Amino acid sequence: MPLTERIIDGFKVGEVLHEGGMALLHRASRPDDPTPLLMKVPRMRPGEDPAAIVSFQMEQMIMPRLAGPHVPRFVAMAGFEASPYIVMERIEGPALSERLRDVPLPVDDVAAIGAAVADALDDLHRQHVVHLDVKPANILFRPDGTAVLVDFGLAHHDQLPDLMAEEFRLPYGSTPYMAPEQLLGVRHDPRSDLFALGALLYQLATGETPFGEPQHLKGAKRRLWRDPTPPRRRREAIPPWLQEVILRCLEVSPDRRHPTAAQLAFDLRHPDQIALTARAERRRRDDIVTALRRRLQPEPLAPRRVGAAGRIAAAPILAVAIDLSQTTDELAGVLRNQVQKMLGSRPGARLACLHVLRQTAAAAGDQALRNRHVQRLVELRHWAAPLHLAEGRVTFHVLEAPDAAEAILDYARANRVDHLVMGARENSLSRRLLGSVAGQVAAEAPCSVTVVRRRRVG
């Protein structure tokens, strides 16, 4: 009896929705679960690639450990003793591969898609997983635009045995998007997923993949020494900041890419804050002599063994909220000292300096408000100057909103802030009557919050 229309462990198995190289995906349902379901079954016919079985085992180990909106909800599984399967939530939204019909996409769409996928990768990396097969078919979208990553058969989990690495010497993945270190057998670095996302951004922005569609390992390894054609040479409408982001993702050395997916998402959402380098204006590939030198003297690509979650911890997004209208010089110094201590122990950290400019509906278009916005930006830069941070490591944001606490909370949620620093106001009648902004933020923030106050004497 064919698998379709069978009842397996209470699941009714429907038609095949997708037939991949390593598994089949069936529509599935269960009377007690209204959620649309999907049953994944490995290919096990004679002559099939043995990696199909191993990758299915990896997915069975990884999926039950994952949670959150950026992955399908795990429902059930069965081992190879009978009929192996994984049942999961079926994501009803479209796959990113459907957008490839429309490439090149508008710049705003490229940035929005990239930021959404970077959010999903950040969430995955925090759960100790490197995906290692980021490609259009493996990215789906929920109705609200949330990106969902699927297919964890090639993934690496920091806390689980890596069966793919133990049993196979050749790298597995999708060659148009594979990172250079992945081609050399390195499977633990989350920045490999950022390279793949960079290749995706390149494709969405230009209509071409940066390294073509190599069919063999030898062709794929050319990216170790041959750089891609700069995106702006392929499409003039691409702005310098987007080329900067894409080419940074596509750096051969992981150390020259963004340190985390969250920092990549931050850049895509704040293009005006990106520090441009020579990458932004490139119009040609490196000359053949430079490429041959890299081929004959390749740089070492053996990144220090640090888990996915560990790399995020070493390169967090820090934010400091400064009420410039209330902060005294003494409190400003205390805030700066606290931030400096935190940055000193986290060399990869990024700092966002925030000020909320209280705005009423009547004043929304007031020219005076615009002038205050500029003034506050200048004051934020003045506050941060003694920190001596490199351009690109610190950004400045004046948030116009009627409610300071809500504005800070919205910023922290939208930008995946890891730690927020605030100053406590002095005792005052308004503070006692209306409550503390710092108190509300500390109670509701999605991240750690440090509240500092000036030291009282006597």
Summarize the confidence of residues 371-386 as an average pLDDT.
92
- In this structure, the answer to whether residues 304 and 355 fall within a common structural domain is no
Residue 302 confidence (pLDDT): 62
CB 244 within 8 A of CB 274: yes
CB 335 within 8 A of CB 350: no
- In this structure, the answer to whether residues 26 and 64 fall within a common structural domain is yes
Which residues are paired to 37 by β-bridges? 28, 89
Distance CA 37, CA 18 (A): 14
- In this structure, the answer to whether residues 34 and 82 fall within a common structural domain is yes
* 3-state percent breakdown (helix, strand, coil) of the chain, nearest 5: 40, 20, 40
Distance CA 47, CA 342 (A): 56
**222 belongs to a structural domain:** yes
- In this structure, the answer to whether residues 136 and 34 fall within a common structural domain is no
**116 belongs to a structural domain:** yes
Q: What is the pLDDT of residues 165-177, one digit of tens each?
A: 999 988 999 999 9
Domain boundary at 272, 295, 311, which?
Answer: 311
Domain boundary at 63, 89, 115, which?
Answer: 89
**23 belongs to a structural domain:** yes
Say if pTM beats, i.e. exceeds, 0.75: yes
The number of folded domains in the chain is: 3
Q: What is the pLDDT of residues 168-204, one digit of tens each?
A: 988 999 999 999 999 999 999 999 999 999 999 999 9
- In this structure, the answer to whether residues 412 and 283 fall within a common structural domain is no
- In this structure, the answer to whether residues 411 and 446 fall within a common structural domain is yes
**282 belongs to a structural domain:** yes
**pLDDT band at 365; cut points 50, 70, 90:** low
CB 281 within 8 A of CB 252: no
**2 belongs to a structural domain:** no
Q: What is the pLDDT of residues 95-135, one digit of tens each?
A: 999 999 999 999 999 999 999 999 999 999 999 999 999 99
For residue 241, what are the domain limits? 96-311
Sign of the dihedral defined by the CA atoms of residues 114, 116, 120, 126, in that order: positive
Say if residue 136's pLDDT is above 70.
yes
- In this structure, the answer to whether residues 114 and 262 fall within a common structural domain is yes
Distance CA 409, CA 444 (A): 7
**375 belongs to a structural domain:** yes
The dihedrals phi and psi of 283, each to the nearest 5 degrees, come to -125, -10
**25 belongs to a structural domain:** yes
- Scanning 270-366, the segments in alpha helix (DSSP H) are 288-296, 308-314, 329-344
The strand pair at 317-321 and 129-130 is best described as unpaired
CATH number of the domain at 57, please: 3.30.200.20
- In this structure, the answer to whether residues 65 and 135 fall within a common structural domain is no
**pLDDT band at 69; cut points 50, 70, 90:** very high
Say if residue 428's pLDDT is above 70.
no
**346 belongs to a structural domain:** yes
Summarize the confidence of residues 390-410 as an average pLDDT.
92
- In this structure, the answer to whether residues 163 and 298 fall within a common structural domain is yes
DSSP SS3 for 130? strand
Summarize the confidence of residues 235-258 as an average pLDDT.
97
